[in-house]
Structure 1
Amino acid sequence: MKIKNKSNILEMIESLSKQYGPVCCLSLPFGNKMIIVSGYEAVNELLTCPGMGEDRPPFSQDNPDELLKGLGIIMSSGEQWKEHRKFSLTVLRGFGVGKRSFEDQIATEIAYLMKEIESTQGQPFEPTRLLCNAVSNVICAVVFGKRFEYDDPEFKHLLHWLERTLALDDLVNILYLLMPTFSLYLARIPFFPQGNMSSWRSLRSKLQDIVDEHRRTFDNDNMRDYIDVYLSEMQKKNDQGTQTYLSDVELRAVIQDFFVAGTETTSTTLRFALLYMIKFPDVQKRVQEEIDSVVGRDRLPRLSDKPDLPYTQAVIHEIQRFGSSVFSTLRYAKHDTEFLDFTIPKGSVMQNNLHSATRDASVWEEPDAFKPERFLDDKGQVVKPSQHIVFGAGKRACLGEQLARMEIFICYTHLMHRFSFKKATEGETLDLKPNPAFVLTPSPYNTCAIVR
């Protein structure tokens, strides 16, 4: 079953909240129910609620299909999730992620991106693939210990499978969004449409090949990347007889989480960024003028310039709010919980509409307008309200937030310093409405990059 209008799912969920309020229950086939939470107050409350804010819906650890086990970081809960989150944060910091020393590594990758864009010679091009290549290579360098050439067939396959895993254009994928556990069982029925499940499995198989290669070339005295450190720590704990959730199957799931989450959300934000600069050329011009006045034309922007670029920071905040890429995340009630004016029964699955929190009229004046000035005070200094929760909130806030913020600032400012982005065709109407998937994306568009 193909969805002709991909906005239907997002519109359906948002229309339910308008009709029934910020908390409503959707009855689904086979006795499934989904509690939908919308609006800033309810979403923030859910994300920080001790009884529901930390857990995902349960999966069967005994199931032979890894997709049904709740492995890794994104879909795990409890001690399993805590150990992997703590370990991963430690490893990422050890490799410099979140520190200014990591800036040069990101800037080097963006230099490859700018070279590719410059090669278009001002002719129309679709930026999705190039932005995805650059962002993915940053996380690949940390997790896999290597970057890929943009025309590498292996890299192209990885990114293709990534794109398909997050699509929301057939029945199975929509069922997964609304009934995650049950739909995964449906996908195992012979001849049942596989949707994005086959892409998940293809991606997982390729990542296993990468892990196998690391095992063959492993050197305990030379930790090249996240995989090496994981293998070393897993062996250490096994030798000591220490109880741990670190395992081969978990490693494959964790690096899949890193690859998917570390690529798609950041590259999508940058796609929105270019789209908005084309749509609002006055904003683009003002950003470029501010960067030029602080940085000049002889060097590229650096993180140390950030405090002197308040308008540029405000524009980035507004890009993230207006083009909020995360549509929904799932939570699970471990026990009966009082939530706002409701009692949520134990075992309830909650769908948290994070996108609605970024468009809540009770929080954001003219929420459907692109207004970077909302993030500036009366002195022209940047401010970020606590309601700006594009990376989530609570203990399950995005693990890669620091890396994502670094990448977005460096990539956006470098592109604004080097190019002016324009419509591919004068008079072209640009569609700003996001396409719903597991990550909200802009409709495909072409642009021309003019070297400044």
Structure 2
Amino acid sequence: MAAVYDLVPRIAGLNVRSVLLCFIVFLILTFIVHRQRRRIKNPPPGPRSWPMFGCLPELVRDINKIPMHELFCSLGQKYGPVCLLYTPFGQAVVINGYEAVHESLTCEDFNWRSPDSSRELYELLRAKGIIMASGDLWKEHRRFSLTVLRGFGVGKRSFEDQIASESECLMHEIAAGNGKPFNPTNLFCNAVSNVICSVVFGKRFEYHDPEFTNLLYLLEDSLSHIAVGILLMMMPFLAKIPFFPKGGLPSLLQIRLNLKDIVNLHRDTYDEENMRDFIDVYLKDLQMKKEQGIETHLSDDELVAVVHDFFLAGTETTSTTLRWAHLYMLEYPDVQKRVQEEIDSVVGRDRLPKLSDKPNLPYTEAVIHEIQRFASIVFMSVPRFTTSEVKFRGYTIPKGTHIVSNLYSVTRDPSICDEPDVFKPERFLGEDGQVKKIPEQIVFGAGKRVCLGEQLARMELFIFYTHLMHRFSFKKPTDAESLNTRPKPGTVLTPFPYNICAITR
């Protein structure tokens, strides 16, 4: 008992010291926040910022009620197109509405990426690639990549046969199911990924290849823990705390390690007279610049990072769009029927659709546009970063601010599309029945950082979608529950898993 009494003063003293320490930290943070806010003249409006916590209490309260893309829209409705958020980890600006979003995407001052502190956790993640690069590193790699991809025919009509060949493999796998229910996620992901793999790796993978399956699993896992991943980017020291979740970073690292092995294999089998793929061309250009003493940002580690970016961007968004497309065909069978009737009338039953058929398939193309708009898969741009104080739309945005452009607010803007929450392909058709472009629909972004693979993605979507509509009718399994067309939160908006039956036509 005496021992217990002896502990009381220690515990009490510890509590006093802890409370005092917390109080001092609280005062310091309060001083910093208020000093920072006073220093900014005419900042954008935003939620109330509490000392030490910033606006996190309000954000956490709301995020438990609505998903992030809707939360961003609600901020725009409450505070206007430019909204400033203070957090304990720094400040961020959320931009809503077409005009403000388009201006932010094309603004030269917003072309920088945030310093990614999570890369300090793993040596191999320090390479930026293209998506997370800025300045001369980004310019050189984007320019080089565009040149090489075009050299391999990516985005050109000549590349159609390669996509069509993969589409045939996909349809063969689907037909083997004999109309039984199946989850299309893996098949769509495998097929779309193989298109970019054929250019970057010089080969396609069989759908059940264990190496390929593992890479796709790691990719999905790395994207499914976005909240923890963002937290670790902002506060990398948290990763050193035992039992603290590491988000998708371990999977991200493993992808880089696997891709590094592929690059090393290319290096071992490299033949200067036989350029097999993107990796070979990169290795050749890197070696040439080293021999000639030309200053360059190309490097072995950056090659792995660039290949990773291609693998990610060339797999996730297009395969997810196909998943949404077929879910919507189950939800709107009349749309599926009309698409099939149009394809049959133009193409017939003896061959598959081609890109040259597109001008004669206006309703089908309008459906593809509406799928992209309605799904809003990439609901926000990859965050930008201000390296200096910026004047934007009459406001002052401080240095070191993350800029988040809410693309979802554009696809749901009633001033651009009437009844934006209704799936209506006809909105993309003019009075003459031909496809009507809506320039405000910037699903691939805008400005200098517009999606590098936009042309390839458009080709893939048209070929895969029209081939599948031509060959199969897709139906909901008889014992399936009602369809869930709400998106699953994540880095991209994906549909919840569903089963589908493919009936050969």
TM-score (norm 1): 0.94
Is 1:42 the counterpart of 2:100 in the alignment?
yes
1:9 partner amino acid: M
Contact 2:117–2:234 (8 Å) recurs in 1: no
CA deviation after TM superposition for structure 1 residue 9, in Å: 3.0
Name 1:301's counterpart in structure 2. Answer: 353
CA deviation after TM superposition for structure 1 residue 327, in Å: 2.4
1:378 aligned counterpart, secondary structure: coil
1:50 partner amino acid: E
Name 2:431's counterpart in structure 1. Answer: 378
Name 1:8's counterpart in structure 2. Answer: 67
Query: Alpha carbons of 1:6 and 1:125: their partners in 2 closer, same or farther (altered >3 Å)?
Result: farther
CA deviation after TM superposition for structure 1 residue 228, in Å: 0.4
Q: Please, which moves more after superposition, 60-69 or 244-253?
A: 60-69
1:346 aligned counterpart, secondary structure: coil
Inter-partner Cα distance in structure 2 for 1:120 and 1:441:
24
CA deviation after TM superposition for structure 1 residue 15, in Å: 2.6
Contact 1:67–1:184 (8 Å) recurs in 2: no
Inter-partner Cα distance in structure 2 for 1:11 and 1:267:
23
Name 1:267's counterpart in structure 2. Answer: 319
Contact 2:129–2:303 (8 Å) recurs in 1: yes
Contact 1:269–1:324 (8 Å) recurs in 2: no
CA deviation after TM superposition for structure 1 residue 28, in Å: 2.0
Is 1:130 the counterpart of 2:183 in the alignment?
no
CA deviation after TM superposition for structure 1 residue 324, in Å: 1.6
Inter-partner Cα distance in structure 1 for 2:443 and 2:236:
28
Q: Please, which moves more after superposition, 322-331 or 75-84?
A: 322-331
Q: Please, which moves more after superposition, 418-427 or 263-272?
A: 418-427
Contact 1:176–1:184 (8 Å) recurs in 2: no
CA deviation after TM superposition for structure 1 residue 194, in Å: 0.7
Inter-partner Cα distance in structure 2 for 1:10 and 1:51:
24
Quick one: which of 67, 84, 97 aligns to 2:141?
84
Contact 2:95–2:405 (8 Å) recurs in 1: yes
2:221 partner amino acid: R
Contact 2:117–2:233 (8 Å) recurs in 1: no
2:342 partner amino acid: E
Which stretches in structure 1 are left out of the alignment for 5+ residues? Answer: none
Inter-partner Cα distance in structure 1 for 2:172 and 2:64:
36
Contact 2:229–2:248 (8 Å) recurs in 1: no
Contact 2:428–2:435 (8 Å) recurs in 1: yes
Query: Alpha carbons of 1:334 and 1:390: their partners in 2 closer, same or farther (altered >3 Å)?
Result: same
Query: Alpha carbons of 1:133 and 1:286: their partners in 2 closer, same or farther (altered >3 Å)?
Result: same
- Superposed CA deviations along residues 95-115 of structure 1, whole A, max 9, x for unmatched, are 010111111111111111001
Name 1:243's counterpart in structure 2. Answer: 295
Inter-partner Cα distance in structure 1 for 2:117 and 2:247:
21
Is 1:316 the counterpart of 2:368 in the alignment?
yes
Name 2:41's counterpart in structure 1. Answer: none
Inter-partner Cα distance in structure 1 for 2:240 and 2:362:
51
1:51 aligned counterpart, secondary structure: helix
CA deviation after TM superposition for structure 1 residue 317, in Å: 0.4
Inter-partner Cα distance in structure 2 for 1:350 and 1:97:
31
Name 2:85's counterpart in structure 1. Answer: 26
Inter-partner Cα distance in structure 2 for 1:62 and 1:194:
13
CA deviation after TM superposition for structure 1 residue 357, in Å: 1.5
CA deviation after TM superposition for structure 1 residue 184, in Å: 4.2
CA deviation after TM superposition for structure 1 residue 340, in Å: 1.6
Contact 1:187–1:197 (8 Å) recurs in 2: no
Query: Alpha carbons of 1:66 and 1:438: their partners in 2 closer, same or farther (altered >3 Å)?
Result: farther
- Superposed CA deviations along residues 414-440 of structure 1, whole A, max 9, x for unmatched, are 000000111113674211111121111
Inter-partner Cα distance in structure 1 for 2:318 and 2:392:
32
Inter-partner Cα distance in structure 2 for 1:185 and 1:262:
32
Name 1:292's counterpart in structure 2. Answer: 344
Q: Please, which moves more after superposition, 376-385 or 14-23?
A: 14-23
2:501 aligned counterpart, secondary structure: strand
Inter-partner Cα distance in structure 1 for 2:236 and 2:433:
50
Is 1:406 the counterpart of 2:459 in the alignment?
yes
Q: Please, which moves more after superposition, 407-416 or 57-66?
A: 57-66
Higher helix share: 2
TM-score (norm 2): 0.84
Name 1:219's counterpart in structure 2. Answer: 271
Inter-partner Cα distance in structure 1 for 2:285 and 2:460:
28
Inter-partner Cα distance in structure 1 for 2:179 and 2:315:
26
Contact 2:69–2:408 (8 Å) recurs in 1: no
Inter-partner Cα distance in structure 2 for 1:286 and 1:5:
40
CA deviation after TM superposition for structure 1 residue 43, in Å: 1.3
CA deviation after TM superposition for structure 1 residue 5, in Å: 7.1
1:89 aligned counterpart, secondary structure: helix
Is 1:194 the counterpart of 2:221 in the alignment?
no
Inter-partner Cα distance in structure 1 for 2:204 and 2:359:
30
Query: Alpha carbons of 1:213 and 1:427: their partners in 2 closer, same or farther (altered >3 Å)?
Result: closer
Query: Alpha carbons of 1:264 and 1:427: their partners in 2 closer, same or farther (altered >3 Å)?
Result: closer
Inter-partner Cα distance in structure 1 for 2:185 and 2:415:
33
Inter-partner Cα distance in structure 1 for 2:255 and 2:443:
27
Query: Alpha carbons of 1:139 and 1:163: their partners in 2 closer, same or farther (altered >3 Å)?
Result: same
Inter-partner Cα distance in structure 1 for 2:311 and 2:415:
35
Inter-partner Cα distance in structure 2 for 1:40 and 1:425:
42
1:361 partner amino acid: P
1:350 aligned counterpart, secondary structure: strand
Inter-partner Cα distance in structure 1 for 2:291 and 2:480:
66
1:76 aligned counterpart, secondary structure: coil
Equivalent pairs counted in the alignment come to 442
Quick one: which of 75, 91, 105 aligns to 2:162?
105
Inter-partner Cα distance in structure 2 for 1:442 and 1:160:
17
Contact 1:58–1:70 (8 Å) recurs in 2: no
Name 2:48's counterpart in structure 1. Answer: none
- Superposed CA deviations along residues 288-341 of structure 1, whole A, max 9, x for unmatched, are 111111100000000111111111110000011001211222011222222123
